[in-house]
């Protein structure tokens, strides 16, 4: 694949922030985001929203950070270091979503924001209180440049069960109606398909992305990685469809390089870039 340009040594790289949860197993969440940022040559900044007690088998517990600590991380980084794009991942509660959305609006900056509305882990363990779904719709989606739900998240947020192309379009429209500039309906869990058909919608046009499906038991962190790579491409000034296409290619290569870890699901692997450079 063609990578994004790397900054020359000594030159300040572009900065991308993740506002998300920590995965103690190192496969998803902030840890996945930071690996992708590093491997793509941008400087990653972090606002930790929650800490999960997690391994390859599941999420045992999580702890939410105080609201002022979460929003403080965003404010001090944006004021001093400056970021060219950001993404959200696990935000855990309605209170955190409200505080993050308020802070983001308060910045008054035109920074592209990718919202990955993380609701549960691949093991089915909750990463968002069910009572927070309404805040996802009313607070988080309206500030998003792009939302990137998987099919389970689409069902929870819109009530639409995506089973084919027609329902995927309905879902894209329903998501877009909640306020983001762009909605991506990831089809990776449409098991009937040989490809991984994702559908992007901006309220006018549909864009389809059909990378090959990589069937691996080790896809922990795939959603985070797609959103992080897409945000990175947005930081480079890519238009949204090109940024999504880049994110898709990146996560596909990370899936090809995924490895077993522990007794459950291993992580996608952005470090493939170390051995296969452009
Ligand atoms: N843990 C954290 C902190 C996450 O942010 C996410 C996903 O965004 C997950 C776990 C779940 O990742 P997966 O669905 O790939 O297991």
For the chain, domain boundaries: 15-271
pTM of model > 0.75: yes
pLDDT category of residue 257 using cuts at 50, 70 and 90:
very high
pLDDT at 126 over 90: yes
Counting residues of the chain whose pLDDT is more than 70, the rounded percentage is: 96
Tell me the two tokens of residue 199: 């559908």
d(Cα 209, Cα 230) in Å, to the nearest integer?
Answer: 13
pLDDT category of residue 194 using cuts at 50, 70 and 90:
low
For ligand 1, the distance from its centroid to the CA atom of residue 231, given in whole angstroms, is 17
Q: Which residues pair with 44 in a beta bridge?
A: 16
pLDDT at 267 over 90: yes
pLDDT at residue 195, as a whole number = 67
pLDDT at 193 over 80: no
| Average pLDDT score over residue span 40-64 | 97
pLDDT category of residue 168 using cuts at 50, 70 and 90:
very high
The beta-carbon contacts of 199-208 under 8 Å, at least 24 apart in sequence, are 199/168, 199/169, 199/172, 200/172, 200/240, 200/241, 200/244, 201/169, 201/172, 201/173, 201/175, 201/176, 202/176, 202/240, 203/176, 206/169, 206/172, 207/241, 207/244
Atom of ligand 1 nearest to the CA of 22: 3
| Average pLDDT score over residue span 225-237 | 98
Is there an atom of ligand 1 within 6 Å of 268 CB?
no
Is there an atom of ligand 1 within 6 Å of 233 CB?
no
| Average pLDDT score over residue span 67-91 | 98
| Angle, helices 222-235/240-256, rounded to nearest 10 degrees | 140
For ligand 1, the distance from its centroid to the CA atom of residue 119, given in whole angstroms, is 9
For ligand 1, the distance from its centroid to the CA atom of residue 10, given in whole angstroms, is 33
pLDDT at residue 278, as a whole number = 45
For ligand 1, the distance from its centroid to the CA atom of residue 150, given in whole angstroms, is 12
H or E element at residue 251: helix 240-256
Q: Which residue has the higher pLDDT, 1 or 199?
A: 199
Q: Which residues contact 265 (CB under 8 A, 6 or more apart)?
A: 27, 56, 122, 123, 217, 218, 219, 220
| Average pLDDT score over residue span 141-168 | 96
Instruction: List the Cα angle 130/178/169 in 5-degree steps.
Output: 100
Is there an atom of ligand 1 within 6 Å of 89 CB?
yes
Is there an atom of ligand 1 within 6 Å of 27 CB?
no
For ligand 1, the distance from its centroid to the CA atom of residue 32, given in whole angstroms, is 9
pLDDT at residue 190, as a whole number = 72
Atom of ligand 1 nearest to the CA of 116: 8
pLDDT category of residue 206 using cuts at 50, 70 and 90:
very high
Q: Which of 118, 152, 124, 117 is nearest to 138 (CA)?
A: 117
Closest residue to atom 2 of ligand 1, CA basis: 29
- CATH ID of 15-271, from 3.40.1190.20, 3.40.1710.10, 3.40.140.10, 3.40.50.300: 3.40.1190.20
Q: Which of 9, 62, 33 is nearest to 235 (CA)?
A: 33
| pLDDT averaged over every residue in the chain | 95
pLDDT category of residue 152 using cuts at 50, 70 and 90:
very high
pLDDT at 160 over 60: yes
pLDDT at residue 187, as a whole number = 85
pLDDT at residue 277, as a whole number = 53
pLDDT category of residue 50 using cuts at 50, 70 and 90:
very high
Is there an atom of ligand 1 within 6 Å of 227 CB?
no
pLDDT at residue 88, as a whole number = 98
Is there an atom of ligand 1 within 6 Å of 222 CB?
yes
Residue 208 region, left (φ>0) first, then alpha (ψ -120 to 50), else beta? Answer: beta
Lowest mean pLDDT among 22-26, 60-64, 194-198: 194-198
H or E element at residue 33: helix 29-39
pLDDT category of residue 1 using cuts at 50, 70 and 90:
confident
Is there an atom of ligand 1 within 6 Å of 23 CB?
yes
Counting residues of the chain whose pLDDT is more than 90, the rounded percentage is: 88
Helix boundaries (H) for 120-239: 133-135, 151-158, 165-176, 222-235
pLDDT at 63 over 90: yes
| Average pLDDT score over residue span 190-211 | 85
């Amino acid at each position: 694949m063609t990578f994004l340009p790397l900054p020359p040594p000594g030159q300040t790289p572009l900065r991308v922030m993740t506002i998300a949860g920590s995965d103690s197993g190192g496969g998803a969440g902030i840890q996945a985001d930071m690996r992708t940022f590093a491997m793509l040559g941008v400087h990653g900044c972090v606002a930790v929203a929650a800490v999960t007690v997690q391994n390859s088998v599941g999420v045992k517990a999580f702890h939410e950070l105080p609201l002022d600590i979460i929003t403080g991380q965003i404010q001090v980084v944006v004021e001093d270091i400056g970021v060219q794009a950001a993404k959200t991942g696990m935000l855990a509660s309605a209170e955190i979503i409200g505080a993050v959305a308020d802070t983001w609006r308060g910045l008054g900056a035109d920074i592209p924001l990718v919202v990955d509305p993380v609701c549960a882990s691949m093991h089915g363990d909750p990463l968002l209180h069910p009572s927070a779904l309404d805040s996802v719709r009313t607070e988080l989606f309206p500030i998003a440049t792009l939302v990137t739900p998987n099919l389970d998240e689409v069902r929870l947020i819109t009530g639409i069960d995506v089973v084919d192309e027609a329902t995927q379009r309905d879902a894209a429209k329903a998501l877009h109606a909640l306020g983001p500039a762009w909605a991506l309906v990831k089809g990776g869990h449409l098991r009937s398909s040989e490809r991984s058909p994702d559908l992007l919608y901006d309220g006018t046009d549909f864009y389809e992305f059909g990378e090959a499906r990589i069937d691996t038991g080790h896809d922990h962190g795939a959603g985070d990685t797609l959103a992080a790579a897409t945000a990175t491409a947005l930081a480079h000034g890519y238009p949204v469809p090109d940024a999504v296409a880049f994110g898709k290619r990146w996560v596909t290569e990370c899936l090809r390089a995924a490895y077993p870890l522990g007794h459950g699901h291993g992580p996608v692997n952005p470090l493939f870039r170390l051995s296969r450079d452009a």
